Amino acid sequence: MDRSSCYFSLPPQELGPYEWELSTPNFPRSRVSQETAPVRLDRVYLSNDSMNLFGTVVVANLAYHKSVVCRFTMDFWNTISEVTAQHCREIEGYDVFTFTVGLAELVDLEMKPMFLCVRYNVNGQEFWDNNSSLNFQLDFRKRYLC
């Protein structure tokens, strides 16, 4: 049996183990214009076991006390979820934060896109990186390990 036949010979629930593949169709190729922004989503990637989505956010170090949050939706903003990002390190006047979104509890992940943006609160101000109002789109696809 060749490898491609396993995709069609069994019902989807019986195809066996899989891992997620991540596609980011509208992430800007270059974020040079964003390098001096108060907040920017630097990158997103999957954990080795594909069970978590990780993100890295870079914020200007405007004050010691700050909050960074990733807001995301699976239904085009009818409902939203948020996860708090954790401080990771400092780099020349900027702080790096990371966030984690657990994928196991998200229903029908392959059937719909995830959209996300990041919010930075500091000194009573609020800053967003929402990809110039487009939000960041993430598409998930199962890759079967058969």
Q: Enumerate domains of the chain plus CATH numbers.
A: 37-135 (2.60.40.2440)
Long-range contacts of 120-123 (CB under 8 A, 24+ apart): 120/38, 120/39, 120/57, 120/59, 120/66, 120/67, 120/68, 121/66, 121/67, 121/68, 121/69, 122/38, 122/59, 122/62, 122/63, 122/65, 122/66, 122/67, 123/62, 123/63
For residue 36, the model assigns a pLDDT of: 81
For residue 33, the model assigns a pLDDT of: 63
For residue 56, the model assigns a pLDDT of: 98
Query: What percent of the chain shows pLDDT beyond 70?
Result: 86
On the question of pLDDT at 2 being above 70, the answer is no
110 vs 47: which has the higher pLDDT:
47
On the question of pLDDT at 95 being above 80, the answer is yes
For residue 17, the model assigns a pLDDT of: 80
